[in-house]
Amino acid sequence: MKNKSRNIIGQTGGGGPPIITDEDKENYQNGNGLFECSHTAYNSLAPSTALTHTTNYNLFWYTKRGVTWTYMGTGGTVASPVYVDMTPEDGGYLYAVVEIVASQNYHVDAQKIVQTNSYVDQTLYTDFDGDTDDEFAFKIDMKGHAIPNDGYPAIPFHVHCFADDTSFDAVSALSDLGNIGASKVTKWMEWDATFSAAAKAVPLTKIELKVNTTDITIVQLKQMEVPGRGFLSASNFVFSETASDYRYTYTYGTTYDTTYYFTCPTGTKLTRDLDVKADFTLGSANVTCTLTIWWLDPEAGTQSSDTDDCVANYQA
Q: Is 253 within a domain?
A: yes
In this structure, is residue 170 part of a structural domain? Answer: no
C-alpha distances in angstroms, 187 versus 15, 119, 247? 79, 51, 18
Asked if residue 248 is part of any domain, the answer here is yes
Q: Are residues 181 and 154 in the same domain?
A: no
Examine the domain organization and report whether 105 and 232 are in the same domain. Answer: no
The pLDDT of residue 131: 85
Residue 107 has pLDDT above 80, yes or no: yes
The whole-angstrom separation of Cα 250 and Cα 288 is 19
Q: Which residue, among 85, 92, 98, 193, has the nearest Cα to 136 in the 3D structure?
A: 98
Residue 143 binned pLDDT confidence (cut-offs 50, 70, 90): very high
d(CA 159, CA 128): 18
Q: What would the pLDDT profile of 198-240 be if each residue is shown by its tens digit?
A: 999 999 999 999 999 999 999 999 999 999 999 999 999 999 9
d(CA 104, CA 124): 22
Residues 82 and 17 in one domain: yes
Give the confidence band of 17 by pLDDT, cuts at 50, 70, 90. Answer: low
Last residue of a domain, one of 131, 163, 195: 163
Structural domain total, the chain: 2
Residue 169 is assigned to a structural domain of this protein: no
Q: Is residue 168 part of a domain?
A: no
Single residue among 110, 130, 163 that ends a domain in this structure: 163
Q: Is 128 inside any structural domain?
A: yes
What pLDDT score was predicted for residue 4? 30
Decide if 20 is inside a domain.
yes
Domain check: are 226 and 132 in the same one?
A: no
Give the pLDDT confidence score for residue 100 in this predicted structure: 94
Domain with residue 183: its CATH number is 2.60.40
290 and 153, same structural domain? no
Average pLDDT over residues 267-271: 97
In a domain, 141, yes or no: yes
**Domain that includes residue 130, residue range:** 5-163
Q: What's the whole-number mean pLDDT along residues 50-73?
A: 95
* Claim to verify: residue 184 and residue 153 sit in the same structural domain: no
- Is residue 84 very low, low, confident or very high in pLDDT (cuts 50, 70, 90)? very high
